[in-house]
């Protein structure tokens, strides 16, 4: 343990003098907090303002709390001013979540222009393009020359107000977006040319890709992917230029969304995992509790057949196999369906088509493993009919598992829920219950 | 079904006259192939050369096969020449996989320069930066002026040879990378300035981010994420400029990697799912087979306690609950550990730290659910000691599940395997076996 602590500490020592990678800083802070609270607090207090700002955006709640205790309102406000508007807004919203009155004080200490941007971004719905955009961009006007816009860009760049820009967003004098001129195009023009003339001569080549601020972020990602865009402009319903979404926002979104999906499928909350052990335990415990409840239902089904099990203990030995195979088959179908929904791969093939595919796959495998398991059971217990019973119940359970595995997420999606949340639990509940029930009922009817 | 088919068909009709989105084309082709083979073949033959090239890169094997049957060697070669070098190489490798001799013929029909690039890219290991780079980039030389480089860029752009460029890669006359000059920086300089002078005046601001061609793609992604880069230069071990990796390559990598991980955790192969129902069935069947095998081991463990179950059928009723809760707890720990490994979140916290965290979470939940289930069992069957037995075995099984769930992927990773592949199966095998064994053994020792 001490080796990891030492390397984290030596890394953190640098964070008071130079800018460090924020992800690594967070990981190091988390470790040090658990093992050396005093060193942790001193490090936090000594962070450069840039490090402070960049890590604050990524901090779990408990660490943000420490930050609120270590720094004055105005110091936090100063750090927030260092951030781009989208990150600043995320941070303010995290702080509001923790301590509403303190967050309000901080917001009020932020310089006016920044505050206005944050207040605007806060109004957007969580999954809208507006919530992901930043309000820092390079605007140019139809009536000005390339030279004038370049000069303005130079000043903005020197003052550090604008970073990672790759094009001019050209608007009319009212701010309505006309087109985007990538720097690569701009380089090829005489700098005396006005943006209006560039538009006239070149309208077929100009990039007009933009999204509306209320568009779903998912459709923005699809647009970016389809046309390999590095940046998209964001406009309001009147096409007024509002902001931009850049490739790094898309990276972050893709990675966060994947993590959320993987975690949700396993009954884990991505947010709680970033917090303390106790928060993570509670969030996982919630899904375990639901699982316990459904397991008790399955146990009740088994108890209906107590008499049969007493008569033939082989039933107790074999029944978990049917349930386990059904659960696995179902979770294969579930995972594929959830992922296809999220990747937008179901534009043309409708739900029926997906369900039909999953049903075929699970029935093929069901038929195969029914034969295998029928033979195994027959040779193991030397009861012909027991082989038939387990074969039949395998076929039924695996077939239904594929059906359920695709229907559950599609239904959740249709009803407006996240298809990854809770679907595994519903699936296991059904495949367990059906596995035990079909096997024991068939045994009762055919065998005993 | 017909509605989906109609919309796919009307979309495909456009693909013979204008460039369409490749993802959507593939989805539509897949659907039409299943439902109207004749229409499918006619569409394939009528695709524009751009559409042909862009979809071929994404085609599953069975569709690529159809393509080889519909088109001549030279037509396929022509389409490949339309692609950027990285996509062209992927496609040639897919074709080699299908029909080595035909792929060779196609490669030999490709124009010399393209062929050279493809041959170079083919030499790289699957997960190296070189395998992800494209050889199309905008080179500039220390001794030339900005003006000269811009003129060259203009020509390359007009000929369609270069797309999505955002900076000059400046090298010495031997091709050794000196620095990268983003177009945004270039705009601010007098065009008569040489790249050498720009470097002299501005060395602190120049971007020097590059990766070596043999670097792991994962470390490239981390670099890109850490510094919000849109493009990185790729150099060989002598720092000769070889190619570049762009933000859209990173997007694709992130999304493919996430899909692979989610699928692997559920015992599904991402590649086989793109193929026919029969290929997908076989790939899923493989993991189901392993699961059947481990289930039989668990069944054998249960059979050791046949006598006890005959004596007290409540054991058969309750034992699946212990196994199911253990499986779920373990899969929570497993998923979090796999994801943390892949996100690179374990730089400072070593393996011990992660295992310890998972163990704590699972023991807390184990203790809680042990109490709950102990009480439930006691009130259900009115046997005090049965409550104790199930409580103890829940605590043991859930605690071990958290331990196993974190140890298995960390060990796989340590041994050089993908921590997502097979880890779920190993986990379930162990939690099932341990669940049944601990519960039945404790029952035998304490209760009977």
Which residues, other chains included, contact A200 with Cβ-Cβ below 8 Å and sequence gap of 6+? none
Residue recorded with tokens 């001569």: A201
Q: What are phi and psi of A233, to 5 degrees?
A: -80, 150
Question: Which tokens belong to B8?
Answer: 């796919």
Whether residues B329 and B246 fall in one domain: no
Query: Quick check: A339 and B230 CB within 8 A?
Result: no
* Among chain B residues, CA nearest to A306: B313
Q: What does the pLDDT read at residue A348?
A: 58
Query: Quick check: A254 and B259 CB within 8 A?
Result: no
Query: Quick check: A317 and B329 CB within 8 A?
Result: no
Residues of B in contact with A440 (CB under 8 A): none
Q: What's the CA gap between B227 and B247, in Å, rounded?
A: 12
Q: What's the CA gap between B196 and B188, in Å, rounded?
A: 16
Whether residues A192 and A282 fall in one domain: no
Q: What does the pLDDT read at residue B355?
A: 93
Query: Quick check: A321 and B295 CB within 8 A?
Result: yes
* B292 vs A154, A228, A325: nearest CB: A325
Residue B242's H or E segment, with its range, is strand B241-246
| Position A204 confidence tier, pLDDT thresholds 50, 70, 90 | low
A258 found inside a domain:
no
Query: Which of residues B192, B225, B253 is at a domain's end?
Result: B253
Question: Which tokens belong to B150?
Answer: 């811009």
- Which tens digit of pLDDT belongs to each residue from A362-410? 999 999 999 999 999 999 999 999 999 999 999 999 999 999 999 999 9
Q: What does the pLDDT read at residue A342?
A: 87
Q: What does the pLDDT read at residue A228?
A: 82
> For the domain that residue B48 is a member of, what is the CATH number?
1.25.60.10
Min Cα separation B372/chain A (Å): 9
Whether residues A349 and A435 fall in one domain: yes
Angle at B349 between CA B347 and CA B355, to 5 degrees: 125
Residues of B in contact with A266 (CB under 8 A): 265, 331-332, 334-336
Query: Quick check: A321 and B259 CB within 8 A?
Result: no
Q: What does the pLDDT read at residue B234?
A: 96
**For the residues A81-99, what does the mean pLDDT come to?**
93
Residue A224, pLDDT above cutoff 90: no
- Which tens digit of pLDDT belongs to each residue from A333-346? 999 999 988 887 66
Q: Which of B46, B55, B58, B54 is nearest to B17 (CA)?
A: B46
Q: What's the CA gap between B25 and A125, in Å, rounded?
A: 32
Q: What does the pLDDT read at residue A5?
A: 84
- Which tens digit of pLDDT belongs to each residue from A136-186? 999 999 999 999 999 999 999 888 888 789 999 999 999 999 999 999 999
Query: Quick check: B225 and A23 CB within 8 A?
Result: yes
Q: Which of A29, A154, A160, A187 is most worth mutating to test chain B (most B CB atoms within 10 A of its CB)?
A: A187
Q: What does the pLDDT read at residue A205?
A: 65
Whether residues A300 and A327 fall in one domain: yes
Min Cα separation A119/chain B (Å): 25
Helices and strands (H, E) in chain B, number of each type: 22, 6
Which B-chain residues 158-177 have CB contacts (< 8 A) with chain A?
164-166
Cβ pair A404, A330 in contact under 8 A: yes
Q: What does the pLDDT read at residue A274?
A: 86
Q: Which structural domain range is residue B97 located in?
A: 1-123
Whether residues A148 and A234 fall in one domain: yes
Whether residues A243 and A97 fall in one domain: no
Q: Which of A15, A277, A320 is most worth mutating to test chain B (most B CB atoms within 10 A of its CB)?
A: A320
B264 found inside a domain:
no
Whether residues B400 and B287 fall in one domain: yes
Min Cα separation B237/chain A (Å): 26
**For the residues A198-224, what does the mean pLDDT come to?**
85
A436 found inside a domain:
yes
- Which tens digit of pLDDT belongs to each residue from A69-86? 999 999 999 999 999 999
Q: What are phi and psi of A281, to 5 degrees?
A: -60, -45
* Among chain A residues, CA nearest to B258: A258
Query: Which of residues A123, A154, A185 is at a domain's end?
Result: A123
Cβ pair A259, A238 in contact under 8 A: no
Query: Which of residues A206, A222, A253 is at a domain's end?
Result: A253
Whether residues B292 and B421 fall in one domain: yes
Min Cα separation B285/chain A (Å): 6
Cβ pair B268, B284 in contact under 8 A: yes
* Among chain B residues, CA nearest to A308: B313
Residue recorded with tokens 């988390």: A30
Which residues, other chains included, contact B27 with Cβ-Cβ below 8 Å and sequence gap of 6+? A345, A346, A347, A348, A349, B8
Residue A206, pLDDT above cutoff 80: no
The percentage of residues in chain A with a pLDDT greater than 70, rounded to a whole number, is 97
Whether residues A316 and A385 fall in one domain: yes
Buried b (16+ CB within 10 A) or exposed e, B120-154: bbeebeeebbbbbbbbbbbebbbebbbebbbebbe
Residue B231's H or E segment, with its range, is strand B231-235
Residue B212's H or E segment, with its range, is strand B210-212
Counting one residue from A and one from B, how many pairs have CB atoms under 8 Å apart?
Answer: 324
Cβ pair A358, A409 in contact under 8 A: no
DSSP secondary structure of A116-173: HHHHHHHTS-TTBHHHH-BS---EEETTSBHHHHHHHHHHHHHTT---S--EEEEE-T
Q: What does the pLDDT read at residue A4?
A: 79
B160 found inside a domain:
yes
Q: What does the pLDDT read at residue B167?
A: 92
**For the residues A339-361, what does the mean pLDDT come to?**
83
Cβ of residue A304 closer than 8 Å to a chain B Cβ: no
* Among chain B residues, CA nearest to A367: B285
Cβ of residue A255 closer than 8 Å to a chain B Cβ: yes
Whether residues B229 and B275 fall in one domain: no
Q: Which of B185, B230, B317 is most worth mutating to test chain A (most A CB atoms within 10 A of its CB)?
A: B317
Whether residues A119 and A244 fall in one domain: no
Which B-chain residues 354-383 have CB contacts (< 8 A) with chain A?
357, 360-361, 364-365, 368-369, 372-373, 376
Query: Quick check: B349 and A251 CB within 8 A?
Result: no
Which B-chain residues 179-208 have CB contacts (< 8 A) with chain A?
182-184, 186-188
Residue recorded with tokens 């790729």: B234
* Among chain A residues, CA nearest to B345: A27
| Position A259 confidence tier, pLDDT thresholds 50, 70, 90 | very high
Q: What does the pLDDT read at residue A349?
A: 62
B429 found inside a domain:
yes
A131 found inside a domain:
no
Residues of A in contact with B187 (CB under 8 A): 150, 153, 183, 186-187
Whether residues B274 and B246 fall in one domain: no
Residue B244's H or E segment, with its range, is strand B241-246
Residues of B in contact with A319 (CB under 8 A): 316, 320
Helix (H, G, I), strand (E, B) or coil at B184: helix
Instruction: For chain B of 448 residues, list the mean pLDDT of each consecutive stretch of 10.
Output: 80 86 88 89 91 92 92 94 93 93 94 94 94 94 96 90 88 94 92 93 74 93 85 95 93 91 94 91 96 96 96 96 96 95 73 90 97 97 95 97 96 91 94 96 93
Which residues, other chains included, contact A98 with Cβ-Cβ below 8 Å and sequence gap of 6+? A61, A64, A65, A68
Number of structural domains in chain A: 3
Question: Which tokens belong to A216?
Answer: 């779903």
B129 found inside a domain:
no
> For the domain that residue A286 is a member of, what is the CATH number?
1.10.357.20
A98 found inside a domain:
yes
Half-sphere exposure of residue A360: CA atoms within 13 angstroms, side-chain side: 12
Half-sphere exposure of residue B433: CA atoms within 13 angstroms, side-chain side: 17
**What's the whole-number average pLDDT of chain A?**
92
Buried b (16+ CB within 10 A) or exposed e, A252-287: ebbbebbbbbbbbbbbbbbebbbbeeebbbbbbbeb
Q: What's the CA gap between B141 and B127, in Å, rounded?
A: 30
Angle at B21 between CA B20 and CA B25, to 5 degrees: 85
């Amino acid at each position: 343990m001490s080796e990891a602590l030492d390397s984290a500490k030596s890394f953190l020592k640098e964070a008071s003098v130079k800018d460090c990678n924020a992800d690594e800083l967070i990981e190091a802070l988390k470790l040090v907090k658990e093992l050396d609270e005093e060193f942790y607090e001193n490090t936090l207090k000594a962070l450069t303002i840039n490090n402070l700002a960049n890590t604050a955006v990524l901090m779990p709640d408990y660490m943000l709390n420490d930050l609120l205790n270590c720094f004055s309102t105005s110091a936090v406000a100063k750090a927030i001013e260092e951030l781009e508007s989208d990150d600043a807004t995320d941070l303010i919203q995290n702080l509001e979540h923790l301590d509403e009155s303190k967050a309000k004080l901080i917001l009020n200490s932020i310089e006016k222009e920044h505050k206005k941007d944050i207040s605007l971004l806060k109004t957007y719905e969580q999954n809208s393009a507006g919530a992901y955009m930043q309000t820092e961009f390079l605007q140019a006007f139809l009536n000005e020359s390339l030279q004038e816009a370049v000069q303005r860009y130079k000043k903005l760049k020197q003052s550090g107000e604008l970073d990672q820009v790759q094009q001019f967003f050209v608007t009319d004098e009212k701010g309505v977006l006309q087109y985007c001129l990538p720097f690569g195009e701009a380089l090829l023009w005489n700098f005396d040319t006005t943006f209006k003339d560039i538009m006239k001569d070149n309208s077929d080549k100009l990039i007009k890709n933009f999204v509306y601020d209320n568009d779903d972020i998912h459709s923005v990602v699809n647009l970016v992917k389809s046309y390999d865009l590095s940046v998209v402009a964001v406009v309001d319903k009147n096409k007024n230029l509002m902001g931009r979404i850049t490739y790094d926002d898309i990276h972050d979104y893709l990675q966060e969304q994947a993590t959320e999906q993987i975690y949700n499928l396993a009954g884990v909350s991505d947010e709680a995992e970033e917090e303390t052990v106790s928060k993570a335990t509670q969030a996982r415990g919630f899904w375990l509790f639901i699982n316990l409840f459904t397991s008790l239902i399955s146990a009740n089904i088994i108890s209906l057949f107590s008499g049969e099990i007493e008569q033939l203990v082989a039933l107790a030995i074999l029944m978990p196999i049917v349930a386990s195979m059904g659960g696995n088959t179902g979770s294969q179908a579930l995972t594929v369906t959830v992922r296809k929904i999220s990747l937008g791969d179901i534009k043309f093939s409708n739900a029926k088509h997906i369900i039909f595919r999953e049903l075929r796959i699970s029935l093929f495998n069901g038929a195969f493993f029914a034969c295998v398991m029928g033979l195994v059971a027959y040779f193991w217990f030397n009861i012909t009919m027991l082989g038939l019973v387990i074969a039949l119940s395998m076929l039924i359970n695996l077939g239904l598992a594929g059906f359920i595995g695709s229907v559950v997420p599609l239904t959740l999606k249709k009803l407006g829920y996240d298809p990854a949340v809770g679907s595994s639990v519903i699936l296991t509940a059904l495949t367990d219950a059906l596995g035990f029930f079909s096997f024991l009922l068939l045994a009762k009817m055919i065998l005993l």
